[in-house]
């Protein structure tokens, strides 16, 4: 465990609130001060004002009352000092409020950041997609590194979370260089980590582990990025290219299948023959559910996608796995896509997710499919999500404007 380098100023002062005395008696308090921040602790005693010595901070005299109160003061002082030293030994961030809470036996209810992280992990393990759970795990690693490297501790109490903690964590992420990367995180990646932390902290707030939400003034800011997609020409070249290596041929087919269905890699590898259905229009549809959002998928099969299904109907891999298409790991998939891009002459960073963008932009929207229909085909719950994918190409804008010119000239 890392030793905390910062030192604390810690004092205990016993006093009576003479300004609010009643019938010559005043309430007895202990004042705890840590780094100029102080809290008062009531000893639940009333002391006659004339018996209180403001110099020694004790009750004057040898009466049984005086001995009893002074013994209580000594006990409280010893207990507070012990709590302070225990916290220093544990390398925890010390506040006057924390010492007061521990004195009152509130430590069982003083939840920590690590406790809400553990609870959140348990909560999402059966409800979120594997990729989303993995992303939360990455964020948690950065939180722990921040605690270790910047705060010199392994954990903090949730009540210590504030706006400064958030901004300091943001600065830490901006300046952090992930292992194996030649540059720091992008702005949007930093925002994603902070959004995940916010979801975790909001859970603690709703469970009343926190009195106030430290993120209430924090607003995320994302830089607009244009996601790449394949043009008509690039997609056609990819479809018709003859690969001499069978594994590249299979990966190309999976990618093209996604270009004509909009289905993600995680959902494609789960498809079986049972997911193909003949619908009321007499054509074949894929009926499934998105792993990420659990929303239903209902997609009419275009001829290009249907031909790929037919190609692998009796393939050894699909027969053994009983899958609709040959299954491959995500790591190998994206690795082979780099080889495919080089072979076909595609100079874009070809990733499998680009297929969904291609479906949204090149295959559907550019051919006049309304964005509401595209949103449903992609399995999005909000139209705003689809708008990130959907960019209308220049030739579609030109075509639509020509139609408008024709209508206006015919009036």
CA-nearest of 61, 76, 48, 159 to 110 is 159
Per-residue pLDDT of the chain (411 residues; tens, 9 = 90+): 333 445 678 999 999 999 999 999 999 999 999 999 999 999 989 999 999 999 999 999 999 999 999 999 999 999 999 999 988 887 778 888 888 888 876 554 568 899 999 999 999 988 887 888 999 999 999 999 999 999 888 888 898 899 999 999 999 999 888 776 666 788 889 999 999 999 999 999 998 888 889 999 998 887 766 678 899 999 999 999 999 999 999 999 999 999 999 998 888 988 999 999 988 778 899 998 887 777 888 899 999 999 999 999 888 888 888 899 988 887 788 889 999 999 999 998 888 989 988 998 889 888 888 888 888 888 887 877 777 766 655 566 677 778 788 888 887
How far, in Å, CA of 374 to CA of 362, rounded?
12
Q: For the purposes of burial, counting CB atoms within 10 Å of the CB of 122, is it exposed (0-12), middle (13-18) or buried (19 or more)?
A: exposed
Query: pLDDT per residue over 55-89, tens digit each?
Result: 999 999 999 999 999 999 999 999 999 999 988 88
- Dihedral sign from CA coordinates of 35, 38, 39, 40: positive
**Residue 180 falls in which region: left (phi positive, over 0), alpha (psi -120 to 50) or beta:** left
DSSP H or E stretch at residue 102: helix 96-103
CA-nearest of 192, 154, 199, 190 to 172 is 190
3-state SS, residue 229: coil
CA-nearest of 117, 114, 153 to 5 is 153
Which residue has tokens 């549809």?
285
Query: pLDDT per residue over 182-233, tens digit each?
Result: 667 888 899 999 999 999 999 999 988 888 899 999 988 877 666 788 999 9
Kindly report whether the global pTM for this prediction surpasses the value 0.75: no
């Amino acid at each position: 465990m890392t030793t905390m380098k910062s030192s604390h100023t810690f004092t205990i002062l016993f006093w009576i609130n003479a300004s609010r005395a009643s019938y010559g008696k005043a309430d007895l308090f202990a004042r705890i001060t840590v780094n100029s921040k102080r809290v008062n602790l009531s000893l639940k005693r009333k002391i006659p004002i004339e018996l209180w010595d403001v110099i020694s901070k004790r009750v004057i005299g040898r009466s049984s009352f005086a001995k009893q109160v002074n013994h209580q003061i000594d006990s409280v002082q010893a207990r507070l000092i012990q709590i302070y030293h225990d916290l220093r030994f544990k390398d925890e961030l010390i506040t006057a409020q924390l010492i007061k809470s521990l004195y009152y036996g509130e430590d069982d209810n003083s939840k920590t950041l690590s406790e809400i992280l553990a609870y959140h992990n348990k909560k999402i393990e059966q409800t979120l997609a594997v990729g989303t759970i993995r992303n939360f795990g990455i964020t948690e690693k950065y939180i722990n590194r921040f605690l270790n490297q910047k705060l010199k501790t392994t954990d903090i109490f949730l009540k210590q979370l504030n706006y400064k903690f958030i901004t300091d964590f943001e600065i830490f992420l901006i300046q952090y260089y992930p292992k194996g990367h030649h540059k720091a995180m992008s702005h949007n990646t930093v925002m994603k980590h902070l959004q995940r932390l916010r979801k975790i902290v909001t859970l603690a707030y709703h469970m009343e582990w926190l009195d106030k939400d430290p993120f209430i003034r924090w607003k995320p800011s994302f830089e607009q990025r244009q996601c790449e997609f394949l043009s008509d020409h690039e997609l056609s070249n990819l479809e018709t290219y003859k690969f001499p290596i069978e594994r590249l041929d299979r990966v190309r087919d999976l990618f093209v299948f996604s270009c004509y269905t909009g289905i993600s890699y995680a959902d494609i590898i789960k498809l079986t023959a049972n997911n193909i259905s003949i619908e009321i229009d007499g054509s074949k549809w894929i009926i499934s559910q998105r792993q990420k959002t659990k929303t239903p998928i209902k997609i009419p099969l275009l001829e290009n996608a249907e031909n790929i299904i037919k190609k692998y109907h009796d393939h050894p891999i699909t027969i053994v796995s009983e899958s609709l298409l040959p299954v491959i790991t995500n790591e190998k998939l994206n690795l082979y896509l780099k080889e495919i891009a080089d072979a076909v002459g595609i100079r874009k960073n070809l990733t499998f997710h680009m297929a969904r963008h291609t479906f949204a932009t090149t295959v559907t929207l550019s051919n006049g499919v309304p964005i509401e229909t595209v949103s449903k085909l992609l399995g999005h719950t909000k139209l705003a999500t689809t708008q990130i994918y959907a960019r209308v190409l220049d030739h579609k804008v030109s075509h639509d404007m020509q139609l408008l010119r024709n209508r206006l000239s015919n009036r």
